[in-house]
Structure 1
Amino acid sequence: MAAKGTRPRTRIQQKNTSAILDAALDVFSANGFRGATVDQIAKAAGLSKPNLLYYFPSKEAMHQTLLAGLLDTWLAPLRALDPEGDPVEEILSYAGRKLEMSREMPRESRLFANEVLQGAPNLEGVLKAHLKPLVDEKAAVIAGWSADGRLAPLHPYHLIFSIWALTQHYADFDVQVRTVLPEIEAGDPFPEASRHIETMFRKMLEPGG
């Protein structure tokens, strides 16, 4: 439903907005914010530049809209880590969800990575206000599991960083992954990646492993 005092968007307006954001995601994920231009996004969306600017007044507006829409999705797998669950299975499930996101949302992963690599000018406040408290909360859960002997001794923050690095690598460095892998795996690296990550983390996480 449209906000009070505003008209609901027409079907063509919804279609154009969706096309613009999809094109912007392509351009930003490939070129980063600084390398992207409104002209590139308009061309990818199949719209004139003036038509695009009717919907979004600047590339900053498109970038911020994409980042805002991505945040909840990006944090959802970590939020789902259940303090009452089996520690090893909860962490493996988190790693699995992150890997699946790299498979299904590679452009979004690269958008996020490009923003962070550029100093997070549009995300710094969000990282401090939303990401850090969530990581602090889940790191405390992991530390508690480890202290109780339900996980091997480990540093909870670096464990989370390791999961990010291993899973997001398959999206952010997709070309490198597919170039280096044997041809039989290069078409779809994710099944073997999933088995490898689960085996590695299970050995690291299990007490006495």
Structure 2
Amino acid sequence: MSILSKFSFKDQAFKLRESAILDATTSVLGSKGYDLMTMDDVAGAVGISKPSLYKHFKSKEELVGEAMVRLLDGAIDQVAALDKALNPVEKLSALLAWALRVRLEGGLPFLPSTSPHVRDMLMRNVKYMLRVVKLNRQLEALVKEGQKAGLLNPALPSDVILYSYYARTCDPAVDYLQKFSKMASDDIVAHMLAVAFEGFHPR
């Protein structure tokens, strides 16, 4: 094996471990929350030592920041992959469906609104904030297009619609339905989309 291929293998192994660490972080955050999560929890979930974990991430803040950056990267990729033939509301609906499935599979909501500490920490994370600004601009444009086309209420400020949309990714109803109802994940997503875009009025 050449020196170059050895380095390539080590780099690939390092990235695979980092991905496993971020998966574990997402899982532990989902079950314990930021304040109760420890680096020991994450290392144990991955099956590595804490010193090995610190080779990848220097602190809990950095680790959680990277987990949230990865989530936003996924959302931005989803927006880029949306069928251009869809109207603005259909695009928003498709993205929300993706976000809800991420939640149901143990992932994190877009906005960690339940933790002021996490919110403040992420506001200081430049990588995270750059992605937030990018995603926000894209979704704000879809909301305004939807209002202009008469598909969304033009009397509402666009910010009210946008932040209400974000709030649906954090809606605790998803967790309650998953734990206490007998609905399949696809049904939960479908019903949550109906509530988000149609309210409680009959069709």
TM-score by length of 2: 0.67
Residue 99 of structure 2 is matched in structure 1 by: 98
Q: CA deviation at 1:72?
A: 1.0
Are residue 177 (structure 1) and residue 177 (structure 2) matched? yes
CA distance in 2, matches of 1:130, 1:119: 16
Match of 2:120 in 1: 121
**Runs (5+) with no aligned partner, structure 2:** none
Query: Cα 1:42–1:114, aligned 2, differ >3 Å: closer, same or farther?
Result: farther
- Which SS does the other structure have where 1:47 is aligned? coil
Give, in whole Å, the separation in 1 of the partners of 2:77 and 2:63. 22
Q: 1:84 to 1:141 in 2, by over 3 A?
A: farther
Q: Select which of 160, 164, 167 maps to 2:166.
A: 164
The number of residue pairs the alignment matches comes to 192
Residues 142 and 128 of structure 1: CA distance in aligned 2, closer, same or farther (over 3 Å): same
Partner Cα distance (2:49, 2:146) in 1 = 56
Q: Which aligned pairs between 1:13-24 and structure 2 lie closer than 5 A?
A: 13-24=14-25
The equivalent of 2:87 in structure 1 is 86
Q: Quick one: structure 1 residues 31 and 203, their matched pair in 2 at CA, closer, same or farther if it must change by over 3 Å?
A: closer
Identity of aligned pairs, percent? 23
Alignment of 1:125-204 (within 5 A): 125-126=126-127, 128-132=129-133, 134-153=135-154, 154-169=156-171, 174=175, 176-181=176-181, 184-185=182-183, 188=184, 190-201=185-196, 203=198
Work out the CA distance in 1 between the residues paired with 2:81 and 2:108.
20
Larger Rg: 1
Q: Please give the TM-score of this superposition, normalised by the length of structure 1.
A: 0.65
